[in-house]
Structure 1
């Protein structure tokens, strides 16, 4: 069965945030009323980002892959956000470094076994600067969803 991994209502294009906390609060305020995350999601993702930052230096276009424990989500899907101006995240492999992130791909998963698969799927997409540039250039949510399917392949449950 192919999962509906990205919902067009959860693709945000050209958003402006002053910092990761503002981004996380906005995402929570969107996702919680939809029933996709639990009440404790915001506190947990902020806490996790402090301990285990998610900024990934993928080259000229940098990505953040924020996520939290599966117990905080009711669904398995991605939430895609392109930033109007880069948002400064701490780097995943070196907490002391910060990087300007252009794209956030938030992972929501409601089953612990899904995390490695989701990360693998995302890594297929973010390893190519060409893919990332195409994503940043896209202004239509349906076309953005198609790009993810094209670059990451079909996601099977």
Structure 2
């Protein structure tokens, strides 16, 4: 059983060729989309920017560079997992002071779980992204439903 709640993976939360000039622009535009869907509160943007500053989420894996930003539950209206494949990589600070990471894929977690639950989900996604074949399969997806189905497939393994 996966730590990832696969019912939170929805085509409406998958964004391809997402245009953003930098991390702040990225979070601003993503926040607007999430707010339109009723997922986040007005406090979300400031909260995620502050959390990202204090706890960077960029990660260089062998075949993919990812970022796994998340925010505390009080800034959410309902839980979600958004998957974003930006048009151009977006620069994130690396986890544990590992330097800058040009994220090719961003998985934004909006979970109602407590810290332990968030850690379990992060670990599950990391397990997927350290698998070169799984990462390649995910990056090869071109439709929102295809992305959802592919991530769910690897969650089940």
Q: TM-score, normalised by structure 1?
A: 0.89
CA positional deviation for 1:3: 4.8
Structure 1 portions without partners, runs of 5+: none
> RMSD in angstroms over aligned alpha carbons?
1.7
Equivalent position to 1:103, from 102, 105, 111: 105
**Which protein is richer in strand relative to its size?**
1
Match of 1:120 among 114, 120, 123: 123
CA distance in 2, matches of 1:122, 1:87: 19
Aligned pairs, number:
152
Q: Corresponding residue for 1:19?
A: 22
Please list, as runs of the form range in 1=range in 2, the aligned pairs for 1:1-157 lying within 5 A after superposition.
Answer: 3-94=6-97, 97-112=99-114, 114-153=117-156
Distance 1:101 1:20 in 2: 10
Tell me if structure 2 keeps the 8 A contact 1:124–1:152.
Answer: no
Structure having the higher helix fraction is: 2
Does the residue aligned with 1:148 lie in a helix, a strand or coil?
A: helix
Per-residue Cα deviation, 1:109-148 (whole angstroms, up to 9, x for no partner): 1231531232132123212122122222211111110001
- Output the CA distance in 2 between the equivalents of 1:129 and 1:78: 22
Unaligned runs of 5+ in 2: none
Q: Which 4+ runs in 1 deviate beyond 4 A?
A: none
Following the alignment from structure 1 to structure 2, what is the Cα–Cα distance between the partners of residues 34 and 99? 29
- 1:83-123 per-residue CA deviation (whole Å, 9 max, x = no partner) reads 2221111101116x111110000000123153123213212
Task: Answer whether contact 1:6 1:79 (CA < 8 A) is retained.
Answer: yes
User: Does the C-alpha gap of structure 1 residues 69 and 79 become closer, same or farther in structure 2, counting only changes over 3 Å?
Assistant: same
